[in-house]
Amino acid sequence: MSPAYHPRAYMTGMRNVSRGLTSRTKILETMEQGRTRISEISEKSKLGPACVNYHLKLMLQQKIVHVVQTGREGRWTPTKYGQEKLFT
């Protein structure tokens, strides 16, 4: 049986390999708990900062997340668009 991935973890126009889906699922679940900075997401999800940054930038391109720059680190938040396009 395949593991349950977050619905927003799936990307369009690219291969959705298990490792990437797992990482994006951890990131999205951590963001839903209120963590918004890469350092916080990395610490809570047990993923490296480079991995978190890579996947957040991919999700930003797909409009699944949004970033507001505050100093050196940005505050990342999930958007409604990424979820809505799955059902339209």
For residue 14, give the DSSP letter: S
> Is residue 49 within 8 Å of residue 60, measured between CB atoms?
no
Boundaries of domain holding 77:
7-87
Domain with residue 27: its CATH number is: 1.10.10.10
Report if residue 2 sits inside a domain: no
What local confidence, expressed as pLDDT, does residue 71 receive? Answer: 85
Domain count, the chain: 1
Query: Which pLDDT band holds residue 63 (cuts at 50, 70, 90)?
Result: very high
Determine the 3-state secondary structure of 51 from DSSP: helix
Determine the 3-state secondary structure of 13 from DSSP: coil
Report if residue 39 sits inside a domain: yes
Task: Tell me the pLDDT tens digit for each residue of 1-58.
Answer: 567 999 999 999 989 999 999 999 999 999 999 889 999 999 999 999 999 999 999 9
What local confidence, expressed as pLDDT, does residue 88 receive? Answer: 46
